[in-house]
């Protein structure tokens, strides 16, 4: 039941505009998330005992901070101009309580590894399916020069696709099966990113792919594996970058021209408008430094949010809000940096260990992509929040497996292939 609910949740988050209830985007996703949270949080105390200490500490810290953000958001209903919009911030945090405990609970059950792989593949399939719908313009996924897919804004589609790209790349290089299918999915998502017209997320998506493959090359070099692959990748990387720019120019000349203007030092309208929006948001935060204007409140008639995670937190929840968000981001970034360095510097070998290590790198870059994207786009909105929590939950899972392998708990990987709990036990 829990696994099926998580899979349905993953499907629904790609169609927030099509899963609305009473006119509110993503309502079905929120109801599924609430159900997952209620089911999994009850048994989370027992599940946490099976996690490695570091993973349990991270999950507890992040969810505790989320709980404080929810409390502040609900309290802000007392003074917000539009009290109902405060639930936007609450919805975004509820996804954390749904996804992290649910993924942890699923992974510690028999056949937990198979279930996690099913979650990853569902994410990949849905990202490719959405990109294909965008490419052909079916339903609400119409394309002029900025495709929204089934999201409210094209930036939201760009955030979702750029966050999933490293995950697809990691699965592509680590999996022994379905490589042609995964390659097609990777190309489809790149096409969807081009079609979205989101310049920031196009750059971030391509840079994220480059970062992942760069980390993967370092991983191979340190272990003296696949030297030919590293050489070929080094040679083809600039060619692929140029090919992606040519594709953007051909399929979305408007986005390409604006990107070229920004890279040449010019001032694009979107950049100027964001700077003005940030200035207004900071002034609003300074006017209400201790409580903010209320969670989820729009920036006057200009925009629904501040297009920057930290500035929006300061504007809506004041100093306490930006402090909580800053601590959460610092904790998560420190964790993923530690995971990357541990992966690159570790000495564990074997096909099974390689697959786990590559997935650690991929999920780390996915989390990083989402955090960076929210400095220019969605401000951790409820329509895209799941694309932060899902890669983070998967990172916790693969990092826990990695620790087990590095500590020698898995001398015979095949023994544990069907029981996730054995891999997590200390």
Domain assignment present for 421: no
User: What is the percent of the chain where pLDDT is above 70?
Assistant: 77
Question: Domain range for residue 167?
Answer: 2-407
Q: What is the pLDDT of residues 50-108, one digit of tens each?
A: 778 888 899 999 999 999 999 999 999 999 998 988 888 898 999 999 899 889 888 88
**What mean pLDDT is predicted for residues 228-232?**
56
Band (304; pLDDT cuts 50, 70, 90): confident
Say if 412 falls within a structural domain. Answer: no
Helices 199-222 and 179-196, interaxial angle, to 10°? 150
Give the pLDDT of residue 250.
Answer: 64
Asked whether residue 268 carries a pLDDT value surpassing 70, the answer given is no
Rounded mean pLDDT, 213-231: 74
Residue 13 lies in a domain: yes
pLDDT of residue 252: 63
Confidence of residue 239 (pLDDT cuts 50, 70, 90): low
Using alpha carbons, select from 69, 41, 40 the residue that is nearest to residue 328: 69
The answer to whether residue 40 sits within a structural domain is: yes
Query: Is there a domain that residue 425 lies in?
Result: no
Determine, yes or no, domain membership for 414. no
Q: Residue 422: inside a domain, yes or no?
A: no
Q: How many domains does the chain have?
A: 1
In a domain, 166, yes or no: yes
Place of tokens 């997952």: 36
Confidence class of residue 149 from pLDDT cuts 50, 70 and 90?
Answer: confident
């Amino acid at each position: 039941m829990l696994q099926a609910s998580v899979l349905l949740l993953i499907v629904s988050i790609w169609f927030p505009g099509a899963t609305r209830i009473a006119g509110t985007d993503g309502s079905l996703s929120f109801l599924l998330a609430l159900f997952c949270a209620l089911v999994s949080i009850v048994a989370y105390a027992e599940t946490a005992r099976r996690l490695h200490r570091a993973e349990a500490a991270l999950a507890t810290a992040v969810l505790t901070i989320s709980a404080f953000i929810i409390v502040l958001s609900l309290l802000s209903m007392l003074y917000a101009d539009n009290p109902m919009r405060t639930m936007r911030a609450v919805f975004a945090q509820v996804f954390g309580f749904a996804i992290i405990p649910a993924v942890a609970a699923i992974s510690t059950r028999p056949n937990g590894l198979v279930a996690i792989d099913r979650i990853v593949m569902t994410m990949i399939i849905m990202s490719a399916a959405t990109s294909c719908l965008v490419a052909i313009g079916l339903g609400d996924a119409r394309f002029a020069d900025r495709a929204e897919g089934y999201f409210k804004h094209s930036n939201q589609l760009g955030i979702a696709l750029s966050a999933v790209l490293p995950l697809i790349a990691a699965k592509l290089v680590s999996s022994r099966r379905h490589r042609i299918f995964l390659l097609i999915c990777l190309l489809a998502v790149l096409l969807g990113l081009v079609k979205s017209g989101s310049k920031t997320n196009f750059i971030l998506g391509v840079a994220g792919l480059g970062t992942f493959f760069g980390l993967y090359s370092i991983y191979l070099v340190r272990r003296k594996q696949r030297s030919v692959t590293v050489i070929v990748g080094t040679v083809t990387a600039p060619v692929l970058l140029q090919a992606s720019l040519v594709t953007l120019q051909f399929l979305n000349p408007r986005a390409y021209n604006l990107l070229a203007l920004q890279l040449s030092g010019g001032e694009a309208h979107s950049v100027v408008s964001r700077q003005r929006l940030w200035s207004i948001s900071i002034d609003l935060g300074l006017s209400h430094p201790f409580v903010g204007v209320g969670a989820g409140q729009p920036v006057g008639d200009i925009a629904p949010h501040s297009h920057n995670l930290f500035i929006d937190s300061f504007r809506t929840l004041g100093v306490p809000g930006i402090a909580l968000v800053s601590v959460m981001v610092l904790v998560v970034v420190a964790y993923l940096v530690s995971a990357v360095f541990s992966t690159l510097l570790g000495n564990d070998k074997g096909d099974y260990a390689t697959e786990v290590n590559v997935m650690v790198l991929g999920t780390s870059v996915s989390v990083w992509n989402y955090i960076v994207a929210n400095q220019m786009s969605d401000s951790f909105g409820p329509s895209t929040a799941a694309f932060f929590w899902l890669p983070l939950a998967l990172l916790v899972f693969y990092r826990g497996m990695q620790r087990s392998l590095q500590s020698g708990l898995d001398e015979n990987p095949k023994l544990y292939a069907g029981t996730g709990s054995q891999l997590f036990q200390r």
